[in-house]
Structure 1
């Protein structure tokens, strides 16, 4: 179980790194870091839910939420 959580966190980190490399802007980097922290808090709060439904659907939902928030942040930035 913890291995799954670690793997998911690593995937998130990789995605964030790719985004940061693509943008290369300080403000956006800070926003991405803040979103990362928010996602970690949410995951910690919903640990039980993720462990019960720890299949693709939960992961896809999380990724969708992340992308939506990212798009919102980008829109606000630009």
Structure 2
């Protein structure tokens, strides 16, 4: 916190999506009384439903193929 860069960017790393920092009365009204566990399940379901996996690069596929071939050759010995 003593460095200007840290102070400037501190909120970027502290975004509360599941934990609610407001007082209990406010979050009970806004969330319908969902507790942190319930909100975590909702968020997990959203991630599972919406997440798109980035395709692997040809280089990564090539490296993994090499590792697999090396492992398989060790099994044959």
**TM-score range relative to shorter protein:** under 0.3
Q: Which of structures 1 and 2 has the larger relative contact order (alpha carbons within 8 angstroms, sep 6+)?
A: 1
Larger Rg: 2
User: Counting helix residues as a fraction of each chain, which structure ranks higher?
Assistant: 1
